[in-house]
Amino acid sequence: QVQLVQSGAEVKKPGASVKVSCKASGYTFTSHFLHWVRQAPGQGLEWMGLISPSDGGTAYAEQFQGRVILTRDTSTSTVYMELSSLTSEDTAVYYCARELGGHDHWGQGTLVTVSS
Amino acid sequence: QAGLTQPPSVSKGLRQTATLTCTGNSNSVGNEGAAWLQQHQGHPPKLLSYRSNNRPSGISERFSASRSGNTASLTISGLQAEDEADYYCSAWDSSLSAWVFGGGTKLTVL
């Protein structure tokens, strides 16, 4: 079965960077785009960007341009999301999600807390 | 970035039918249609439909989606207590080259 397993919770200080991983299994890794979506406490879903596992091509939401980098490792079927220059506004649960028309499978989420 | 517009809340009684709406534009909903997600508190979202009216396997037929112009709709029939959740629509916006989400609708089943 399709599974997306994310790395554990992180606590970071303002100005720092965070790197979250998402390991895919149960399907052909290179066949589907993988997206990153975040959700601040009590708020809605916010799209951050996507990566094509087959060629590493990326697209980012305008509000994250220059601050987020998505990468992938085809040898381990893992994608990574690195977000820099963190502020308290970046405190959120970060999800990876597979695309099939919509986002049909989601990781369990990774809580990133930014606090001094 | 321009998002999709959803009503913040909808309330309906048990066994009734709820219709949730999602308005975008010709570059988003009006282009390739919308997807609908259900999210219970503390859990990741779950895909209910995509490209307006395609239902993933395992999703109840009580959930049906449609589109008219730039507005997508999700109809939930025979409401059950477990349908109480947040519902989000999403779509690819071809002019922004970005996925956009609606702000979500909180469905309360009375």
Structure confidence at residue B2 as a pLDDT band (50, 70, 90)? low
Identity of the residue in B1, B44, B97 whose CB atom sits nearest the CB atom of A95: B44
Positive or negative CA dihedral for A24, A1, A7, B89? Answer: positive
Six-digit token string for A24: 């895919």
Check pLDDT > 90 for residue A26.
Answer: yes
Instruction: Give pLDDT tens digits for B30-44.
Output: 998 999 999 999 999
Instruction: Give pLDDT tens digits for B63-83.
Output: 999 999 999 999 999 999 999
Determine the residue among A6, A65, A103, A108 to mutate to test chain B binding: the one whose Cβ has the most chain B Cβ atoms within 10 Å.
A103
3-class secondary structure, B27: coil
Residue B99's DSSP bridge partners are B92
Contacts with B36 from chain A: Cβ below 8 Å: 102
- Sheet strands (E) in A26-67: 34-39, 45-51, 58-60
**Interface contact B90, partner A, CB < 8 A:** yes
| Phi/psi at A73 (5° precision) | -125, 105
| Phi/psi at A56 (5° precision) | 80, 5
